[in-house]
Structures are given as structure tokens and as C-alpha cells.
Structure 1
């Protein structure tokens, strides 16, 4: 289905009927400030707080056109929106939009290669897009904690609420929010040895390291390492628990 073939009047987004979406896309290319406002409106309608809608999938052909330079707009913006949409797609939708996904993937890889070394968030978001277009489950949606330096999890043994934290606040698992609660119980984290990583963990760490994204590379060792629950002293794989809760 091409963008022009979509019957937008029959589709919905976060605020109801999606008939306004073609007009929003038509406003792109009129200057950086105006484009920023248009993208903000598109994100609010098509990807509201991370949710996607039928209109979101219908926008993929237009987003692919922008990414490939066939329509006005910033390719990286199109890739980021399309990546979030595709990450939520089921097998049927992936097949239906296979042409667009195949066109978006090389653009996402090119954008990823251009991210500045001090932009960990930008690198992770675009990395998730690459994984989404490749069809990699879980980590196309669950990597933000790597640059946010924290995952909120439940202990798989005793169900205690934990904050697995690594970075500027230190490296530990706390029973409760270490920022808002006074002196919560803490226990050790055990980062993975990069040399021992395998599969997707090894690939992600290698991509981050070779791109000069040292903060991301270090965060990945904690994501694919182990944490100790300060309540029951159970030690568990962090990535496995992330996948169970959010994947």
C-alpha cells in the first residue's frame, strides 16, 4: 500500500480520525523550525507515548519516501518514527510493509554511523531502529535503559521492586528508588566480561565499541551481566529479566 493509496478517513490515530496526516506530511520541507513542529505533531498523533495505531502503519510508505529522499523531510526523523512503529509490528504487518522496511534499513545504518560519540541517546535510539528493521525482538524496544543508566525490575525470586543502576550514581541494585528513598538496601552488580559475550549481546557491544560509544558499551556489560537482589540475595541475569518483563 502506498501512502497515496491509504484511505486516511477510515484510519485512526491517538486523537481520532487520521484525515489530517497527509496534510502534516505535506508541510515538511519548509524550514527547520516549522519541520520540528510538524514532526512533533506527527509523533503526538502516530506514536503517542510509544503507542502505535493503524494510521501509524499506513504512514510507513511516506516515512520510507522521506528516508530515501523522495519526499521532503529529514531522513533521520523518518527513520526514528518508522523504527518505533516497526518494532511494534506483528509478523503480518512486517510482511505487508516488507518493501518499506527493506528501504529503511540501510538508511538507519547510515544514520547510526553518523551519530556523534557523545550522543549516547541518539546512538541507542537509532540502534533500536536498525534492530527493528532487522526483526530482532526485545532489544529493538528495550535498550533505552543503557543510556538512562537504569532498569526498573522485579526480583524473579521474591518479586521485590529493584532499580538496577549503573553509571553516575554508582553500580548497584537497590530495593526501591535510590533517588527518592533514603538509604535503600543495595547489592552488587556483576557486569559481563565483553570477551565472553555471545550472540546479539556481543554484536551490540561490538557496534557500540567500534562507534566510539564507550558509555553505551559499558552499559551493555551491565545489561548482559548479573544483579543481586538486596532483599533475598538472589543473583539473576539482568537481560533475561528485562526480556521477561518488557520484551
Structure 2
């Protein structure tokens, strides 16, 4: 993993940060945010504020690849029922990257290698999470999308990720898949 005090962090773009233009006023500094999460991994609000800067709108920015090993480490320290969002984001980075383990061409080799080495553990944690924690239908869908991405099937992952064909069950009120007639 790239150390959190590594001077290369500011050169890793993310949404709201460009090495040529600097940072937007409300843009996080990723190493500081990762330090906060490592100290308090159950702070879901804090993680929810960070991850869209790493990967969103179909793009995984360079800082995401450096952050993934930390995100996997944080997820490892949590009980399965508390890992969902961390593992989904790792899957989302994989989904946005195309081929499994693919990284931007200009990403330093050590960052790319650490990212690739974190993916198998993310899949193991994700399988354990799916097997042992209870999830609603929507969370299960997102975790299955992450699993597809971590298995190297980004197109299938995108289908699952974007599958918004839910209806409410007329007898119990729970969300369910609405199949075409």
C-alpha cells in the first residue's frame, strides 16, 4: 500500500481534484479521509462523503486505486454486516475499470500492484458478507454487482448495478423484481 504520508497523493486525481488545477473548496484530501476511517471505520456517513470522489459517474479516478487497499483493510476489520458499502465501492472501482485489475496507464506500478493484490481479498470478504449477513434485496443486488466486477465481468456487474425494475409486493409491501410479461 502506498503510505498515507506519501508525497505522491496530491498527484492522484479524484473527482474535485486535478493535479493541474488543485482542489475544489469542499474536496477531501484522500489520505486524511482514510486516516479518519481507519480510526472510526463504522462512520458510514464519513465514508459516504468520500467514496463518490474516488469512483462515480462511471469513472474510477487514480486516487481510487491507491485507496482500495485501505478500503479492503478497513472492511477486513469489520463484522460482515458492517462491510457492505466498503466492499461495494471496491467492486464499483473494479466495475469502472473494465478488465479485472486494469488501471490507468500512467498509474505508478506500486499503486497498481497494491490495487490488484487487494482484489482477491475483497472477493473473499464479499463472499463471507453475502453468506453470513442479512441484506435487503437492493443491497444484495449491489453486492452481487460488486462480486461480478471482482470476478472480471464488468458488463454483467453494470447490468446488476443498474437493475432498477422493482415493484412492491401487493401482499407484504416488500420490494421485489418486476419481471416483464
TM-score by length of 1: 0.53
- Give me the whole-angstrom Cα distance separating, in 1, the residues matched to 2:56 and 2:62: 13
Corresponding residue for residue 93 of structure 1: 102
Aligned to 1:164: none
Q: CA RMSD in A?
A: 3.3
Say if 2:20 is the partner of 1:20: no
Runs of 4+ in structure 1 deviating by more than 6 angstroms, as ranges, are: none
* Alignment: residue pair count: 154
SS in 2 for 1:215: strand
Q: Which protein, 1 or 2, shows the higher relative CO under an 8 Å CA cutoff with sep ≥ 6?
A: 2
Match of 1:215 in 2: 176
Q: Shift of residue 68 of structure 1?
A: 2.0
Q: 1:143 aligns with which of 154, 160, 180?
A: 160
Q: Cα 1:168–1:65, aligned 2, differ >3 Å: closer, same or farther?
A: closer
Q: Which structure has greater helix proportion?
A: 2
Q: What is the match of residue 44 of structure 1? A: 52
Larger Rg: 1
Q: How does 1:103-122 map to 2 (within 5 A)?
A: 103-116=121-134, 119-122=136-139
Following superposition, the deviation at residue 168 of structure 1 comes to: 4.4
* Structure 2 runs not aligned, ≥5 long: 104-111, 170-174
Aligned counterparts of 2:130 and 2:150: Cα–Cα separation in 1: 13
The alignment's TM-score, normalised by the length of structure 2, stands at 0.69
Name structure 1 gaps, 5 residues minimum. 151-166, 170-213, 228-247
